[in-house]
Structure 1
Amino acid sequence: MARRWRRWLPGLLLVSPSIIAIGLFVYGLIFWNTRVAVSGKHDEITPYGFDKGRNFVDLWSQPSWPGAVQNALVFTVAFVGGALALGAFLAFLMDKGIRAEASLRAIYLFPMAVSFIASGVVWRWLMNPAPPQRAVGLNQLFGKVGLDALANSWWQHPTWGMAAMALPAIWQMSGYVMALYLAGFRAVPEELREAARVDGASEWKVYRHVVFPRLRPVTLSALIILGHISLKVFDLIMAISGKQIITYVPAVATYVEIFDRHDPANGATIATYLLLAVALLVVPYLVWSVRAERTR
């Protein structure tokens, strides 16, 4: 036993600061947030007290909350689907060996180095919903090239406004998805592709039946990463539209409840819902990853 402790102790001491920091600033704050969420502290004066979890039910009776959930779902579907499709397409072009691949790869990856705040400021101008006589950004560009029919109100559109809001996020993260898929493409042995071609498979069938089935782990990883980003998106929404009801999402609702309405309990309740939504994505993926490692 003493020998084991001598062997473990240096490593344990080395990682103990990280363990303490994670325990305090991650799990400790999760515990505190949950405590506030199940309390009746709906102002800055009322003391903390257990309210039997009524906040989680009462939140759905607020007029703005169901719309925030719907907006988050629309944004998630548009963002995840668009980033996966565009990233896979760019990776396919790279895998086919287009010219200047290294330069294009750097160009596609560059937006990921920009923060959502910075890109949101630029896209706020690009997607300005001003009328035709005062059009700027993309609407002005469409007018100058004779494509006035494409000019629209973008994120202010009552039906697909949140899908338009996903455009900056798709532009920013599709390069990252491209890198994931490109690594997956390059990991497929060339012998498998050649064997399929010898058997008479067309290039499309080679990708459909040989390459893409081997990219399922890559797709799952990209889906989890993009999904949790979309569920807790805040800075991009605030940079483009601010705290407007038409682009209200749970992360913005948390900010409004805590800092504008001074309701810590409701804000913590929304944050708990976000934590559970992210956990529904991440936890099954972690379980699958552990099981996949054990079967190797």
Structure 2
Amino acid sequence: MVRNISLLVVLPSIIFVSVFVYVFIGWTGLVSFSNWNSIAPDLSFNGLQNYIQLFQSFRFQSDIRNMIFFSLLFILGVTLMGQFLAILLEQNIRGKWLFRNIFMFPMAMSFVVTGVAWRWIFNPESGVNIFLQKFGVSPGWYTDTTILPGWSLFKIEFGLPIGLIAVLIAAIWQMTGFSLAMYMAGLSGIPQEVREAALMDGASKWKTYTKVILPQLKPITYGIVLMMLQISLKIFDLVYTMTGSGPNFVTDMPAIYMYEATFKSNFYAEGAAISIVMLFMVMVFVIPYMFRRKEDA
């Protein structure tokens, strides 16, 4: 009886998840193999042609490059800044409650608000450039099309787009509060005896953190990296409101390409192919993590 009641309770969730997640994923996959690239539906089979054209396009190659560098630097920045600020706030500094609230405040804002605010801050003709111009410096920020080091690869220059740095600063500012909260919770769970034992063994404060405390926070670091990774792979609203695709696609992302191809150009099969590629990119990292967590449990 209890088992039947439990099944009835979770049954609506199972049905909704099955329909609005898995059925729609299957439908998107079906469309990605079709010729539906106009307003009129056309589900005739097109094989892998949409995917071949996608990976051969200059824009999608630029998107993959941007996503790689954005993900690496975003994850690194959020993780290191969260560790640094958590360790800093753990010290007996005056007014640390105020600093904690200041550092966590950006988490209360949406990516859209962050994008609009930082778009003004990094505007080449206003914002922070008004101050920098006094020193003879006037960077283009998200309008800069320079690629460093700019190796030639397929149809693109492979390297870090300078225009992406402004987006990275905004994204790291937004999400550092999350990693800060996670690391502060982890640090509070480490017994004081562990720190005292390390100090009694002659370890300096630096070695105590790097050799004793931070290694114990690896599960938290893995969780932060995974969370930031799935955010970076699907990033849309921050970049769209702040810079859009940018000149020569220097700040473009796969999600922006998918949105514009599907809802602006009515290339439904192309947009579906981009969605499936994004899904597989997330699965490549999430599924191994889930199996690892299952083994650890």
* TM-score relative to the length of structure 1: 0.90
- Equivalent of 2:280 in 270, 276, 279: 276
1:250 aligns with 2:245: no
Take 2:170 and 2:263, find their aligned partners in 1: how far apart are those partners? Answer: 27
The residue identity in structure 2 corresponding to 1:204 is W
What is the aligned partner in structure 2 of residue 138 from structure 1?
A: 128
The residue identity in structure 2 corresponding to 1:137 is G
Take 1:9 and 1:53, find their aligned partners in 2: how far apart are those partners? Answer: 45
Could you say which structure has the higher strand fraction?
2
Q: Deviations over 1:22-44 (max 9, x none)?
A: 11111121111111112221222
The answer for unaligned runs of 5 or more in structure 1 is 1-5, 131-135
The residue identity in structure 1 corresponding to 2:263 is F
Take 1:119 and 1:156, find their aligned partners in 2: how far apart are those partners? Answer: 18
The answer for unaligned runs of 5 or more in structure 2 is 148-161
After TM superposition, the structure 1 stretch with the greater mean CA deviation from structure 2, 272-281 or 158-167, is 158-167
1:260 deviates by 2.2
Q: What's the secondary structure of 1:210's corresponding residue?
A: helix
1:279 deviates by 1.0
Take 1:101 and 1:19, find their aligned partners in 2: how far apart are those partners? Answer: 45
- Equivalent of 2:213 in 211, 214, 237: 211
- Equivalent of 2:188 in 186, 189, 192: 186
Residues matched between the structures, number: 280
The residue identity in structure 1 corresponding to 2:296 is A
* TM-score relative to the length of structure 2: 0.90
Q: Deviations over 1:141-179 (max 9, x none)?
A: 233xx5443x41112222321122111111110011101
Could you say which structure has the higher helix fraction?
1
What is the aligned partner in structure 2 of residue 225 from structure 1?
A: 227
How has the CA–CA distance of structure 1 residues 147 and 81 changed in structure 2, closer, same or farther, with 3 Å as cutoff? farther
1:129 aligns with 2:124: yes
Identity, in percent, stands at: 35
Q: Deviations over 1:104-163 (max 9, x none)?
A: 222211111111111111100000022xxxxx11111233xx5443x4111222232112
How has the CA–CA distance of structure 1 residues 147 and 82 changed in structure 2, closer, same or farther, with 3 Å as cutoff? farther
- Equivalent of 2:43 in 29, 32, 48: 48
Q: Deviations over 1:237-284 (max 9, x none)?
A: 111112432221100100111122211011000011111111112111
The residue identity in structure 2 corresponding to 1:201 is A
What is the aligned partner in structure 2 of residue 234 from structure 1?
A: 236
1:203 deviates by 0.6
